[in-house]
């Protein structure tokens, strides 16, 4: 499961600067069940997929709630790498609204958007389809705020871009968030744990977000 990978670390350096980092997704682990029109499935991102996507990408953006652009790899305000655990992100944020949300401990974790470029489907004895992602284009990583709840551990969204490719989004569920200011003190109240398994509502994005 993606839960419990590690904390989302937030360092508030000033009213104009914060560093936000943590694991966006893990590899070689089964996701929770992902809803799909053709039947639910479990997904596994294979080792090396993110590293290859980062190497091939001209630029990858970091956004807030999939909407507000905060930076990108080209400007070096976003650093991405894949290690033995998964995709790790480090974002240097100067947006006042995001920093204020961090100060109030209103950030909830990570999501990312991608286009599947290689996949293998396998049926198992338990009757559950499993999708192994072997290649993808990484479009963005997103810092998730409280207004974006519910945060699903895996949400399949049919959102087509100009090339008619299906853009999908995945999220970390119930991530621990650690906030420290320049004096090393926690800020705000701990965010609540979100239990996606007991929420009947599916987050759906019906048009491309600019």
Per-residue confidence at 164, pLDDT binned at 50, 70, 90?
Answer: low
- Residue 208 domain flag: no
Could you tell me what percent of the chain has a pLDDT over 70? 73
- Residue 75 domain flag: yes
- Residue 140 domain flag: yes
Q: What is the pLDDT of residues 26-77, one digit of tens each?
A: 899 988 888 777 788 899 999 999 999 999 999 999 999 889 999 999 999 9
Q: What is the pLDDT of residues 172-188, one digit of tens each?
A: 665 678 888 764 554 55
Going 69 to 180 to 15 to 190, the CA torsion angle's sign is positive
- Residue 87 domain flag: yes
- Domain count for the chain, please give it: 1
What is the rounded end-to-end Cα distance, in angstroms, of the chain? 31
Q: What is the pTM of this model?
A: 0.79
Domain containing residue 79: 8-198
- Residue 210 domain flag: no
Task: Specify the higher pLDDT residue, 134 or 29.
Answer: 134
- Residue 13 domain flag: yes
Nearest-angstrom CA–CA distance, 200 and 35: 11
Nearest-angstrom CA–CA distance, 193 and 52: 33
């Amino acid at each position: 499961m993606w839960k419990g990978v590690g904390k989302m670390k937030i360092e508030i350096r000033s009213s104009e600067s914060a560093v936000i980092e943590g694991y966006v997704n893990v590899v070689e682990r089964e996701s929770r069940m992902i809803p799909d029109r053709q039947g639910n499935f479990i997904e596994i991102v294979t080792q090396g997929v993110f590293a290859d996507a980062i190497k091939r990408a001209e630029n990858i953006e970091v956004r807030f709630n999939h909407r507000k652009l905060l930076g990108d790899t080209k400007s070096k305000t976003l650093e991405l790498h894949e290690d033995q655990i998964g995709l790790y992100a480090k974002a240097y944020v100067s947006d006042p609204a995001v920093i204020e949300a961090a100060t109030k401990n209103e950030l909830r974790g990570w999501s990312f958007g991608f286009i599947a470029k290689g996949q293998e489907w396998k049926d198992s004895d338990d009757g559950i389809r499993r999708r192994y992602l072997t290649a993808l284009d990484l479009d963005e990583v997103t810092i998730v705020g409280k207004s974006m709840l519910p945060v699903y551990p895996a949400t399949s969204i049919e959102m087509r871009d100009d090339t008619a490719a299906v853009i999908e989004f995945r999220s970390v569920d119930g991530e621990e968030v650690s906030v420290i200011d320049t004096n090393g003190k926690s800020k705000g109240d701990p965010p609540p744990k979100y239990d996606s398994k007991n929420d009947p509502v599916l987050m759906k994005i019906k048009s491309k977000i600019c």
